[in-house]
Every structure is written in C-alpha cells, then in structure tokens.
Amino acid sequence: MSYNTQMDAARQGIVTGQMEAVARKEKIDVTRLMDLVARGRVVIPANKNHSSLDPCGIGEGMKTKINVNLGVSKDCCNIETELEKVRYALQLQADAIMDLSCYGKTEEFRRRLVDMSHAAIGTVPVYDAVGFYEKELEKITVDELLGVVEKHAQDGVDFMTIHAGINRATAATFKKNNRLTNIVSRGGALLFSWMELNDRENPFYEYYDDLLNICSRYDVTISLGDACRPGSLKDATDAAQVHELIVLGELTRRAWERGVQVMIEGPGHMPLNEIAANMIMEKKLCHGAPFYVLGPLVTDIAPGYDHITSAIGGAIAAASGADFLCYVTPAEHLRLPTLEDMKEGIIASRIAAHAADIAKGIAGARQWDDDMSDARRCLDWPRMFELAIDPEKARQYRAESQPEHEDTCTMCGKMCAVRNMNKVLQGSDSSC
C-alpha cells in the first residue's frame, strides 16, 4: 500500500518508521499513536525530503514540545552565526526549529539548516516572498506565493506557518473592532496589507486547495497561523481573534479531508485568567487539533524578561491543553537574540513544558523530579548536576561559592536541614 502523508498511512493502518520512532520516545503503544494521527489529534511533521530528521509527535498524550525561532534579518544577516545558534539549540534539546529569515536569498541557510538538523524544521513562506522575487509586496502574484511554498517543501521543510484564516471576513471583523496593538503577526500583517493593496481575498484562503496539494505531495504539516493573535493583554480574546479561530477550524477539516496534518497557532499576549478558557475554546473550535502557542505572555511590562512572562503563560497553557510552546527570549520586542538569549529562552520554555507535563500526567515526567529530590536528600551533588535541566549553570553556581563542609552549600552551611536530618536518622536511613 502507498500513502502520501503520515495521516494517510495511519488511516490505512500502516505503521510508518516515523510512528515507530515517536511511539518509542513517548512510551505509547504504536496502535494508539496511529489512531491519534489518523484522527488529527497528533501530528508528526516529517517532510519526505528531510533525511536527517529524528521525528517527534505533537499533540494529545505526547510530551509538550518546544520550538526555537532563528533566522537572518536585514540588520543581522550572518548565516554562520545563525547556524551556530542551530547547533546550540539542538544541544539544548529543542524539538523544532523555525527559520524566520526575512531578508535576501534565504535558500542557502534553509538548505543547510534542513541538512544539519535532526529536529523538525518550520518556516513562514510569506516572509521569504519579498526577497525571493525582489518585488514589492503588492506586486507578488498568487502563483508566486504558492511557488515559494513549494520551494520550501522541496527543500525539506517539515511544517509551515500559513496565515490562511485572515480572510476578508476576518479582516472586516478586525477593522470594525478597534485594537490597542492592531495586527502584530508579521505574516498576518503582510497578508492583510496584500489584501488591502490589491482589494482581493487572501490567496492562501482562496487557493487553499492548491496549498493542500503541495502539502500532501511532500507531507508538510500546515501550522495554521493566527494573524490576529493579540499583541497586548487588552486585545486578548477579542472578536478578531475568535473569528479567525472559527475559520481555522473550518480549514482544519478541509485539510484532514485531504490527509494533510494540521496544527493551530495561538496567542500571543493574554491575562492569566483567560488562558485556560482559550485552550478549551481552541480544542473545541478546531476539533482537537494540536495547539501551538507563542507564550502566551502574561504581562506587557517586562521587556528584557519576556522569557519569564512567556514561561508562566506557557506552563498554564500547556497544562490546560496546549501541545507545543514557541520559546520567547529575553530579547523579545527588543532585538535579534544572541546565543545566551537563546539559551535562556530554551531553558525557560523547557521548564514550562515539563511543569505542564507533570500536571497532565505524561508518562515519566514526575520521575525526573523524584530522582532529583532523592539526590538532594542524599546530598549527592554529582547526581544533582546530572539531573539538572541546565547542568552547566548548576555546576557554575556551586563552583563560585564553596562551603566549609562539602556536604552543604553556602546558604545554610552546618545548619543545613537535609544534612542534620540525615545525621539524626542515620541509623534508619543508610542509603545516604
């Protein structure tokens, strides 16, 4: 039997190599995984041309995954620097990497990225269109936009953000309902501008079937972009955001009819008390499709610390049903992130994802914490460093402040509660 996509295979009862790999990593029965993929509850982004891929599953019952954004811009156009970030992101266990390059000829960077990365690769093709064709946005044709999508698919990109939900009706809703921060999605703003300048429908909405043909041919997962995601707390859960989400639910069904895998992208900036309800709403309106969120950032006042505001929101979102977290760095809203910014963002996102996995009861998540607690009880410093989410930083902090007694730290010294309890209970606890 033959199949075009992972969803096609699952519906035919075919267990692919990618499904077997994901089932092993997730400790889930492969038959159960196949059912989830067939129903669209789990996606396995796996372009047929991405030969170096170590596939991951995103969705129901899977560990919460994290994505890292990279790429060149006009002001920071150094491919080698970005590739260094790629290597470091993979070392720090990123599950996916998105190339958000928006300047010049991006093909070299994209191809090298796909070749070197075992993580899933995503892109936003509309970012590339202006540089690829060297034309003003309004002059780019529908065929040219679809041509960029096909080019990215040929190059091995596993998932693509496509802002197909901002159709003319969504745009009208946006224009009728004043926002504090308007449209903050770069891709959404580009397509809104194209529509306004040309007085035409969004080409990715109008020619959605042509888009699905490309995705089916290469097994590209569509990540349906949220052009109207809120860029401030004030704009969260407004009419434009909800209208677009309804459209994305309709587009999800159309993709599934063609066997194309789908994720849904979500907010954005959002108050703490609205996050859980938004996760429920997305799952309901988009039929249980995996949900991919940027943050959400729970306050707007912390430039330089938005990896923290994002991790707070991300943990709540994932515990409430989100499946995929897009990392946010301390440089968000300020500049292109450095290597250190990237590390801070990845670690913060991984902490949020792991905290959510504990809350969701994901197999094996809690054991990591129990092992760390046992190492602390035994004052086993090497084991604590081994288990730390960032062993390098833990070792550095320990080395910078040496205690008088090796089995303590410089916070409590001989008054260490753990040390003293071990001594008092030594007769009944010989494991330490």
Task: Kindly report, residue by residue over 216-256, the tens digit of the pLDDT.
Answer: 999 999 999 999 999 999 999 999 999 999 999 999 999 99
Calpha distance 310→328 (Å, rounded): 6
- Scanning the structure block, which residue is given the tokens 């996102």? 349
> Residue 405: what pLDDT?
86
State the pLDDT confidence band at 101, using cuts at 50, 70 and 90: confident
**Residue 226, marked binder:** yes
Instruction: Please check if 228 is assigned to a binding site.
Output: yes
Asked if residue 409 belongs to a known ligand binding site, the reply is yes
398: annotated binding-site residue?
no
Domain residue extents for the chain: 46-360, 366-424
How much is the mean pLDDT over the chain? 95
Residue 378 annotated in ligand binding: no
User: pTM for this one?
Assistant: 0.95
Evaluate the CA torsion angle 20, 26, 29, 35 in order and state its sign.
negative
Predicted pLDDT of residue 430: 46
pLDDT band at 72 (very low <50, low <70, confident <90, very high): confident
| The residue to which tokens 């269109």 are assigned | 129
Find the mean pLDDT for residues 394-407: 92
Q: What is the mean pLDDT of residues 315-330?
A: 98
Q: Residue 288 contacts by C-beta under 8 Å, 6 or more apart in sequence? A: 39, 40, 41, 60
227 is in an annotated binding site: yes
pLDDT at 140 over 70: yes
Per residue in 166-223, pLDDT (tens digit) is 999 999 999 999 999 999 999 999 999 999 999 999 999 999 999 999 999 999 999 9
Kindly state the tokens that stand for 398. Answer: 């320990």
Q: Examine the pLDDT at 150 and tell me if it is beyond 50.
A: yes
Q: Which residues contact 163 (CB under 8 A, 6 or more apart)?
A: 126, 185, 187, 188, 191, 202, 204, 224, 225, 226, 227
Q: What is d(CA 427, CA 293) in angstroms, rounded to the nearest whole number?
A: 51
Tell me which CATH homologous superfamily contains domain 46-360: Radical SAM ThiC family, central domain (3.20.20.540)
69 is in an annotated binding site: yes
Q: Identity (one letter) of the amino acid at 399?
A: A
Q: Does the annotation place 292 within a ligand binding site?
A: yes
pLDDT reported for residue 378: 93
Question: Is 127 labeled as ligand-binding?
Answer: yes
pLDDT at 432: 54
Q: How far is CA 12 from CA 38, 58, 228, 242, 425, in A?
A: 9, 20, 36, 34, 60
Cα 118–Cα 120–Cα 126 angle in degrees, nearest 5 = 135
- Look at residue 281 and tell me whether its pLDDT is greater than 80: yes
**Are the C-beta atoms of residues 218 and 262 closer than 8 Å to each other?**
no
Q: Is 265 annotated as a binding residue?
A: yes
| Residue 269 marked ligand-binding | yes
> Is 163 a known ligand-binding residue?
yes
Residue 431: pLDDT over 60: no
Instruction: Give the DSSP letter string of 90-105.
Output: HHTT-SEEEE---SS-
More confident residue, 133 or 172: 172
Q: Is residue 103 over pLDDT 80?
A: no
Residue 131 is predicted with a pLDDT of: 79
